[in-house]
Every structure is written in C-alpha cells, then in structure tokens.
Amino acid sequence: MGGSKAQADVRFIGRGTSTATTSVVQDKNRKLTIVALLGGVLVLGLVVLASLIGSGEETSTKTSPNGVAEAVLTDAKQLLNGGEIEVKQEIVSEWQSLWVADFKGNRILGFNRQGAEIWQQQMASAPIPAKSYNTHTEYVTVAPSGNLIVADGEGMMVQEIDRSSHNLLWQYGIKDKQGSADGLLHQPDKAYKINDHEVLVNDGNNRRVIIIDQRSNDIVWQYGETLRMGKGPGLLRGNTAVVPVDGGQKIAIVDTLEKKIIVVDRVTKNIVWEWMKSDAKWLQHAWPIDGGGFVMEDRQKHEVFAVNVAGQIVWQLNKLADGSYLKYPTDVRGLPNGNVLIAEAGRGRVIEVVPMTGEIVSTFSGVGFVTTIDIE
C-alpha cells in the first residue's frame, strides 16, 4: 500500500561474549547480527537465538525471551570460546504515515513518522453531508488509492473519504438505520478496500462478512448466514473483525465468541486455516505476518501476540521494557522491520514496540481514544 521509500538506520543493541565455541549469525531478512551459543544466545541477558543447524546458509531458530522459536535464513561463521561481537540491528522503515480513528473525538487523524499531525477530519462536520455524519468513528483503513475507508458501527455506515478534498465519495448503509436488507448494515466493523471497486466489510450483528461492489452497491460475496449464529462451516457466531490476506484471495475472520481466527478461501469459501486461543477474553483485530500467521490483540487481557502458521505463539507481550503494562490495546499492526504498532487506547497513544524486548522505539500522542490504526 502506498509508494513510500524505504529508510534504514543501524541501532546498537549490545555486546555478547561466547562461553563456548559458537556461531555468528546474520539474519538476512532483518539484518540482525547475533551471537549463537550451544543451545542459546545471551545478549544483554536476552535469549535471542536458540540453536543453529550446521553452517553456511542454513535455517536456524531465533527465540524470543519467552522461549518461542521462529525459523530464519542465516549465514554462520565460527566464533571461538571467549570471543566477543557487537550486536547491531538495521531497522528498515517502509511506511511514512499513521492513520488513527479517535472514537471519543469522532474523528480521523493522520500523522507523519515524526509524530506531527498532517490530516484531520471531524466526522460530524463539513464537508461530510449531515445525513452521513458519524455517530462514533471507530474504524479506519487506507485504500490502495490513498483514500480512507471509515466505518461507524453505531451509525451503521461504511464510507470512503477523499483524502485531498475530505469529501464523502461513497457510502454503504443508512445513518442510524440497522438492518440486513440491501443497502443496510448492522454494527459494521473495520472495512478494507481490496481493489479499485470492492470493499470488504465485517457486518458484525448480521453475522456475516461481505464484499460490496462500489459500482453497483451490490453484495458480491458473503461468508456466514445472515442473522444466523452458528459454529459450523459457513457460519459465524461472534465475528468482530476481518482482514484480507494475499490481496483478498483469502479472508481472515476473527470470531470473538469462539475465541478463534479462521482464513477462508474467497473462491471456494473453504476454511484453509483455523486457530483457537482457549484462554482468550476478547480477540478482535489481526494483521497477517510474513510466513503466515497473524499478530493479534486481546484488549481485555491487555496483551498482543503473534501466532505462526503452525499455530504456535512466537511472541507475546503485555509488559513493556520500562516496567509498565499494556493498557487496553485496541488494534495492532506488524511492521516491515519486525516491530509492531500498538493502538493503546488505555493510555491514549500509539506505540512502536520491539516484540522480543518490549522496548518502545517511538510514541504517537494526541490520538484521543484510539480504536483502530493503519499505515501508508
């Protein structure tokens, strides 16, 4: 999404000392130089790498402090007992702006990477027509064109806003009128424009996920039976969020009441992947990560985590490096550099965090009661 130019800077992490003959590993994907001991790596007291298979270009296992592994492609060299090496990370930034829905302020905000506000629209004021004023703006995503897709769950509307003029370009749903007939929604959630004319919508209280063709305003795809709660294939019980996968070829749906996320093939409507978190309290927003799997939030447990395609939690975060705990995270977004953006509504901020350490590397304030985020 967008045409932002990648930027990079190198951050010094620390110095590791080997206690046995070890391997020096370069992660080609994230350019992270680390020190591998036999069975583990100590860098400033954090376990970074669990094991190395062979040498040269091999798959090794990188492990976060909570002990969950992730496969990476590596180059390896020998480091003798007692040797030292500096540990550095090259951070690659491939996004330029942050977009925020402020529920209490009923507005959409845009920020640049330095945290300065660059855009704002109060969604119950001109140039939005009065008949389309939002009740509480809760959801925002960025369309491929750069326009904004806004959903007002209480107002029963999904809208496209022109970013240059702030004008309302398109709307599905009638303000404050809930329903399941053509042209109506009931508690829509985050929506995505997946190409130049189709919008993917989680129509929560109608128990369905739909794709709307903006050219005709017809529903051209649906998963779930309208107004029917159920647990079997083709049914939804408590769908609260949706996200396109593989350019919209697959659709990921979070069923909060079932404590699970499913991935549905758009053509066949078959479930091609499913994962349940039995101890979840309120799973909602999810974002696909490289290699399959998702980064997700559980706001009632005040935690964010990533699950891989094998169904393993690869990292889990509720305590930050400064000793504080996450407070009501409402949205989460994986970043190209491996970090994660967290909408922390309980503290009125958006933070970029290194998942393995809990270190906050940037903070966006002035976001109000932030309920969703997107980047461009």
Joined tokens for residue 309: 């395609």
**Would you list the domain boundaries of the chain?**
7-91, 95-375
Whose structure tokens read 């309302």? Answer: 168
- Specify the pairing of strand 260-265 against strand 7-17: unpaired
- 50 close to 118: Cβ distance less than 8 angstroms: no
Tens digit of each residue's pLDDT (9 = 90 or more) over 293-326 = 999 999 999 999 999 999 999 999 999 999 999 9
- 52 close to 76: Cβ distance less than 8 angstroms: yes
- 243 close to 191: Cβ distance less than 8 angstroms: no
CA dist., res. 77 & res. 83, Å (int)? 12
Predicted local distance difference test score (pLDDT) of residue 4: 31
Q: Transcribe 241-270 into DSSP letters.
A: EEEEEGGGTEEEEEETTTTEEEEEETTT--
Residue 327: C-alpha distances to residues 21, 136, 357 (Å):
43, 21, 17
Using the Cα atoms of residue 314, residue 319, residue 323 and residue 324 in order, give the sign of their dihedral: positive
Q: Is 346 strand, coil or helix?
A: helix
Among 262, 258, 350, 339, residue whose Cα is nearest residue 306: 339
Tens digit of each residue's pLDDT (9 = 90 or more) over 236-293 = 999 999 999 999 999 999 999 999 999 999 999 999 999 999 999 999 999 999 888 9
Predicted local distance difference test score (pLDDT) of residue 291: 82
At residue 202 the predicted structure's pLDDT band, cuts being 50, 70 and 90, is very high
**What number of CA atoms fall less than 13 Å from residue 317's CA on the CB side?**
35
Residue 252: C-alpha distances to residues 47, 182, 191, 200, 221 (Å):
32, 24, 12, 11, 14
Q: Which residues pair with 102 in a beta bridge?
A: 107, 370
Q: Give the full edge-to-edge strand order of the sheet including 188-193.
A: 188-193, 198-203, 208-213, 218-223
Whose structure tokens read 């999904």? Answer: 158
- Give percent of the chain above pLDDT 70: 75
For the segment(s) 95-375, the CATH number from 3.40.50.300, 3.40.30.160, 2.120.10.30, 3.40.80.10 is: 2.120.10.30
CA dist., res. 44 & res. 35, Å (int)? 11
Tens digit of each residue's pLDDT (9 = 90 or more) over 99-153 = 999 999 999 999 999 999 999 999 999 999 999 999 999 999 999 999 999 999 9
CB-CB neighbours of 117 under 10 Å = 13
